A and B are shown apart, each in its own frame.
Chain A
Amino acid sequence: MSDTRSRFEVVVVGAGPAGLAAAAAAAECGRRTLVLDATPWLGGQIWRGREAKGGPGSAKRWLARLQAAGAAVARQTTVVASPGPGVLLAESPEGPREIEWEKLILTIGARELFLPFPGWTLPGVVGIGGLQVLVKGGWPLAGKRIVIAGSGPLLFAAAAEYRAAGADVVLIAEQADLARLVRFGLSLPRLAPGKILQAAQYQAALLGVPYRTGCWAVSAQGADRLEGVTLRSARRTWTERCDVLATGFGFLPNLELPRLLGCRTENGAAVVDDRQESSQAGIFIAGEPTGIGGEGRALVEGLIAGFAAAGRPERAGRLWRKRRRALAFSRAMDRAFALRDEVRDLASPETPICRCEDVPRRDLEKYGGWRAAKLHTRCGMGPCQGRICGGAVEKLFGWDAASNRPPVFPVSIGTLREPDPRPSGASD
């Protein structure tokens, strides 16, 4: 019997907080469960590196709970297509794998939103979350001058981590205005147990890093790599010399796989019911793809999805109140860190929008939409498949850059070429 084909009662795609919670819940209910992840690690990007180190708090607890529950784990396994109902095709180090599921839970996380500005393609301009992940893996920052410019509560946590790695954090520039952030801070005690903003501001003060609101990067300079960044606020425009510019404007749900499987999306997020079930029966979605909400929301949605998929709706129902609080919190965050118009529109005519195919803004804006622009310029047709420029053109031109064509990730021809002639269910 070939081991390239396997069958599970519950399959969870993505092993971040939502996926670990979902897989643990389903396995605790006695369902034969598999959780798979594209990376060699468990815990997703947010808990990267915590697995080996044991790490503090929740990461360790959830990894232990998953192990105790007895779910199977597949690492470095990337879902690329769905060759038929109830079957996923994945690429793994051992070659292609076909995985059959009775219930499917998609916990595939989010990616950072990048907004193009002149110089954003220079080496040394890095994603805020991306650099955090790299630093956790040993990326050297000692003695480097860093400017952090973007938006969201992540900026503080990132500053603390870069500092701990030996970086000289010159400035944190938050594009949102102080008035909005203060309103957000005021609404927190009612909404959330973790007073993220106050805590983080306190932390920034302790770090001695200047934190400017209503401030953003307008361009980056350098020949072969980054040398400086020009910043703007209501009062002035000035340039800071730096080795690294960490930038990012929050996160975008990963929706390629839900769309490929026919799950309905609305306003850039997957639509789910009270049980986290999508518009496709038997497919559940939890965490960032249903709307950006961070670790807390991902964990509670993951548990609900896991219990619901395991046929235990009463256990899922007990968590609804907790989810309501998490949802209110993420809505407050969205309002507080809403993008100002200036940062959507920083690219010059020459600025590359599609980094894979080097397509500048001036080549794109003559087209009325994403499809026409893609066909004529190859924008979004490189290896990232529009994952980076798609978010940029949505914010810049208001285009809908949704994509749902297989393969959802670049894949070796061998994976697509190896058909399994046996009928579904013939293995095991």
Chain B
Amino acid sequence: MTEIVSLTINGRPIRVPSGTVVAVALALAGESRFRRSVGGHPRGPLCGMGVCFECSVTIDGRPHCRSCQTLCADGMEVRTDE
């Protein structure tokens, strides 16, 4: 039996199986732009392995978190595009 965790992405609630990383939750929520580069260009995940930092998002107010390496947790607040 899979447990479900509830979190919000840009204020919208989403439920995912426990053990899901934040990057996957973002994709399930239909987000493709995870962050903006220093020059303002849209970026999304590249390496999927915690190396490139392109999937960085703000989690519970903490910026620059690698969404591909962070597990979703109940009550987590995720913001993209920051």
Q: In the complex, A39 Cα to B24 Cα: how many Å? A: 16
Which of the four size classes fits the interface of chain B?
Answer: 20 to 34
Identify which of A6-14, A97-105, A123-131 touches chain B: A123-131
Contact of A124 among B21, B32, B41, B47 (CB under 8 A): B32
Main secondary structure of the interface of B (DSSP, over half): loop
Q: How far, in Å, is A382 (CB) from chain B's closest CB?
A: 7
Whether A138 pairs with B20 at a CB distance below 8 angstroms is: yes
Proximity bits, A128-172, B CB within 8 Å = 1, else 0 = 011111100111100000000000000000000000000000000
In the complex, which residues 20-41 of chain A have their Cβ closer than 8 Å to any Cβ of chain B? 38-40
Whether B21 pairs with A137 at a CB distance below 8 angstroms is: yes
Chain B CB count within 10 A is highest, among A125, A139, A410, for A139
> Given A130-B49, A224-B33, A137–B24 Cβ distance below 8 Å?
yes
Instruction: Report the 5 A-B pairs with minimum CB-CB distance, sorted nearest first.
Output: A130-B48, A123-B44, A358-B39, A383-B53, A133-B48
Q: How far, in Å, is A76 (CB) from chain B's closest CB?
A: 8
Q: In the complex, A352 Cα to B39 Cα: how many Å? A: 10
Contact of A355 among B28, B32, B52, B69 (CB under 8 A): B52
Main secondary structure of the interface of A (DSSP, over half): loop
Q: Is B77 part of the binding interface, using a Cβ–Cβ cutoff of 8 Å?
A: no
Q: How far, in Å, is B9 (CB) from chain A's closest CB?
A: 14
15 more A-B residue pairs beyond the given contacts A137-B24, A352-B37, A384-B53, with a C-beta to C-beta distance below 8 A? A38-B50, A121-B37, A125-B46, A126-B45, A129-B48, A130-B68, A132-B48, A134-B27, A138-B24, A225-B32, A352-B39, A382-B38, A383-B56, A384-B52, A387-B51
Q: Kindly count the residue-residue contacts between A and B in the assembled complex, taking CB atoms under 8 Å apart.
A: 111
Q: Which residues of B contact A133 (CB under 8 A)?
A: 48-49, 68
Contact of A114 among B17, B41, B46, B68 (CB under 8 A): B46
Q: Is B75 part of the binding interface, using a Cβ–Cβ cutoff of 8 Å?
A: no
Report 13 cross-chain contacts, Cβ distance below 8 Å, ordered by A residue.
A124-B32, A126-B45, A134-B23, A134-B27, A134-B68, A138-B16, A139-B24, A224-B42, A355-B52, A355-B54, A357-B38, A388-B47, A388-B51
- Complex: chain A residue closest to B28, CB-CB: A140
Q: Is B64 part of the binding interface, using a Cβ–Cβ cutoff of 8 Å?
A: yes
Whether A358 pairs with B41 at a CB distance below 8 angstroms is: yes
In the complex, which residues 379-409 of chain A have their Cβ closer than 8 Å to any Cβ of chain B? 382-384, 387-388
> Given A124-B44, A358-B38, A138–B32 Cβ distance below 8 Å?
no
Q: In the complex, A130 Cα to B48 Cα: how many Å? A: 4
Q: Which residues of B contact A111 (CB under 8 A)?
A: 47, 49, 51
Q: Which residues of B contact A131 (CB under 8 A)?
A: 48
Interface of A toward B, CB cutoff 8 Å: 38-40, 45, 52, 111-112, 114, 121-127, 129-134, 137-140, 224-225, 352, 355-358, 382-384, 387-388, 410
Q: In the complex, A60 Cα to B54 Cα: how many Å? A: 31
Q: How far, in Å, is B55 (CB) from chain A's closest CB?
A: 9
